């Protein structure tokens, strides 16, 4: 079985109450949605949480080792982190170069969790521009707003 995982996350304001969401399409044609919120977070943490929760669901659902997953997101931060930045961060002890100096990677706890999950999957990533009418991205955005409201925020 293969999966397409659509994700989104956000805060209102940033930082502040946050929400995360995913829509998981399975090759058998059915769909699973989930969302949640945190009273004090950041956009980036919520974007990462959405992917983590979605990949955890894939692994709970999968009957085969290393299931194939396409992650579709509007977050360059998450997708570039997965495909470009993470190998360097790991090689440098989860640090990154900022103004010529090594600084800890922000959200390291979530990146490490995402790294562990991604090692167990056959992962592809696709970027979509947010808020442009992409049906699953728009659905995730609506669920993120529900998560923000549940966390005590006003996504307006």
Among all residues, which ones are annotated catalytic?
A: 8-9, 47, 74, 131, 141
3-class secondary-structure state, position 94: coil
- Rounded CA gap, 89 and 93, in Å? 6
Q: Rounded to an integer, what is the distance from CA 153 to the centroid of its chain?
A: 20
Given a contact cutoff of 8 angstroms between Cβ atoms, the answer to whether 48 and 114 are in contact is: yes
Q: What is the largest CA-CA distance in the chain?
A: 49
Given a contact cutoff of 8 angstroms between Cβ atoms, the answer to whether 115 and 83 are in contact is: no
Residue 38: Cβ-neighbour burial (10 angstroms; 0-12, 13-18, 19+): buried
């Amino acid at each position: 079985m293969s999966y397409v995982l659509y994700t989104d996350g956000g805060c209102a304001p940033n930082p502040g109450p946050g929400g995360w969401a995913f829509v998981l399409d399975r090759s058998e044609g059915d769909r699973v949605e989930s969302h949640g919120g945190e009273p004090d977070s950041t956009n980036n943490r919520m974007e990462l949480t959405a992917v983590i929760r979605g990949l955890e669901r894939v692994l709970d659902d999968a009957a085969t080792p290393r299931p194939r997953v396409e992650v579709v997101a509007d977050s360059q931060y998450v997708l570039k982190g997965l495909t470009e930045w993470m190998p360097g961060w790991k090689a440098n002890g989860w640090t990154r170069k900022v103004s010529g100096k090594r600084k800890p990677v922000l959200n390291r706890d979530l990146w490490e969790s995402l790294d562990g999950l991604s090692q167990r999957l056959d992962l592809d990533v696709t970027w979509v521009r947010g808020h442009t009418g992409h049906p699953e991205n728009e659905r995730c955005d609506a669920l993120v707003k529900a998560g923000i409201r549940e966390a005590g925020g006003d996504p307006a």
